[in-house]
Chain A
Amino acid sequence: MRVLVVDDEVDLAEAVARGLRREGYAVDVAFDGGEALEKVAVNAYDLVCLDLTMPGVDGREVCRRIRDDATLAAQPRILMLTARDSLEDRVSGLDLGADDYLVKPFAFPELVARVRTLLRRDTPATSAVMRVGELELDEARHVARRAGRVLDLTTKEFALLRYFMLHAGEVLSQETLLEHVWDEHADPFTNTVRVTVGTLRKKLSAAGEPPLIETVIGRGYRLLDQP
């Protein structure tokens, strides 16, 4: 899951990014509206945390332009962050196409919970625990299990498994995985995706179970949704 944090408060944007990265999200940061629009045009974000009041192109404008941009392959979720808490502000923010609204200063766990909820929206899962076949992933507790056995995963492997589970049964290309699970600092010319998929695959079958992630030659990887 790839997230863009947009805020002109550098210290705030970086803290949010740091916290979200620890939750296993691939996070990029933009410090003004123009930079945010450039990054949205280049990278496929699943979610944008957007500050409403910024100099120059403000959050409203960024939100409007993202929603009007027909060239985007998929519309990201937009979570507005703002110090303005009047009813009109909230209503106008949501009317512009934001999916949710959080007033500063917010509690970070609440931000994470909202991010999680927003990213889950188009999957059938309704709680923080996702299940695909034998696999079970508890986002809030950061625990993944296969048939009850706890998997010892790194943050990146956890994030990769979560993305696979959100798109169970679909063939996901290396580029798609790189875009949605890694941030902009990942080098697209290394085989980091292949390596991480490999270690994840090994950990999933560490007790000798049959493999869950199959390679679709020439196209990518697929998480089997039927055991």
Chain B
Amino acid sequence: MTSSRSVRSARWLPSWLGSIRTRIALLYSTILFGLAAFVVGVIYLGLARTLDDQPITRKVGERVVITADGRAYTFPIEQVDSYLYIEREANARALATLRQYSFGSLLILFVSSVGVGWIVSGRVLEPIDDITAVAREIQATDLSRRINLEWPDDELKHLADTFDDMLARIDQAFESQRQFIHEASHELRNPLAVIRTNLEVSLADPDATVDDLRRTAQVVQRSTERMARLVDDLLVYARQGSLSVEHERVDVSAIVTGSVSEFEAMATEREVQLVCAASAGLWVDGDRLALQQALANLLANALEVSPAGSTVRVSAGREGPWVWMAVSDEGPGIAPEDHERVFQRFWRGDARTGREEGHSGLGLTIVRQIAEAHGGQVRLASALGRGAAFTVWLPAAPTDVS
């Protein structure tokens, strides 16, 4: 970036003008010189005019003549100076001396102002060199460096501090990305290990029967399904994290009724009753698909933990400036110490059953991400043996269209 900028300036300016320090010094001295020249010029011209306007005659007195019709006329009585020539010569010399001194001092002023400008701008711009040096040292992979400018609290200090803050934020973002990639690859490694070991053990066995090989193929199938689901969820997660929410007016009650009818078949299969209660016209500004995804994740979880014969309730409503949608089940519930952990990436209540049912461990993380991207949040109310209720709170649309 810096190089393209300098290339551009180099194209416009001779190289010795490429430094901002030179330019400031020159600009400063040129302006100072211009102002001084103007002042000197005005003084010179003013003086010259005054001297030129000096009458060559001197008035001695006035004579008043009154005519017959009563009008009065005034005539000056003038006396021609005999030293007139000498006086004019003296004026001209004084002006010439003034000119000389003016030009001389203007020249000295210009030279010294260039020097002073050079020194002053150098001092002022000194921290910029520090900032540049740090910026140059920072590699994309190591963002731990900071400028930490030792400088009075002024604009450049603010610039350096802002730069440091930005570095900290980028560093944090990179770190969380690294962490995420680490976790995700770890999650992908497990099914990969299952596939690889099963294949190697089966293929190396000369006595493997068709049944053995079929069992191996089934294990591979299970594992690839798991990986596919994980990759799908990773994509949803990454998409939520990178794109800003696309805003449109969305009716939450429509999302609720839509999702409930989608999950009807799964509920019947699991012998779970699905009850829906939502008042119409719950408007929020948000991303319809994302909100559908959030509710679908909650519903899928609820149905999976629900024992046969129990009820899953989906409801939505409005509370002051908030619109909420909630999913509650009568499953085994979540222990208080896990209430925060359920939202963590790749957390599974019981890893073994969770994995066998194909959980990626990202479902609730995605719900929370979607809620927060909408300026809302997700709350959990649950106790062991008493089921769980997840509620997504979203800010209501400013003007209610209902």
Give residues in A with beta carbon < 8 Å to B. Answer: 8-12, 15-16, 18-19, 22, 31-32, 54-55, 83-84, 86, 104-109, 111
Contacts and interface: CB of A to CB of B under 8 A. Distances in A.
A31 B352 CA distance: 9
B190 A104 contact: yes
Interface string B172-215: 00000000001000100110111111101110110000000000
Interface string B354-375: 0110000000000000000000
A12 B201 contact: no
Contacts of B223: 11
A9 B194 contact: yes
Given A10-B352, A54-B351, A84-B186, A107 B193 contact: no
Q: Which of B201, B350, B352 has the most CB of A within 10 A?
A: B201
B201 A9 contact: no
Contacts of B219: 11, 15
Contact of B190 (A83, A107, A111): A83
Contact of A55 (B182, B196, B222, B350): B350
Q: Is the interface of B mostly helix, strand, loop or mixed?
A: helix
A10 B355 CA distance: 10
Given A15-B219, A84-B186, A9 B204 contact: no
B174 to A, nearest CB: 17
A60 B222 CA distance: 28
A37 to B, nearest CB: 17
Give me the 9 closest cross-chain CB pairs, A-B, nearest first: A104-B193, A105-B193, A19-B201, A108-B200, A83-B189, A55-B351, A15-B198, A105-B196, A15-B197
B351 A108 contact: no
Contacts of B200: 19, 107-109
Interface in B41-83: none
A31 B193 CA distance: 16
A105 B350 contact: no
Given A11-B219, A11-B222, A54-B351, A83 B193 contact: yes
Contacts of A8: 351-352
Contacts of B195: 105
Contact of B197 (A32, A55, A84, A108): A108
A55 B347 CA distance: 10
Q: Which of B186, B200, B348, B356 has the most CB of A within 10 A?
A: B200
B193 A9 contact: yes
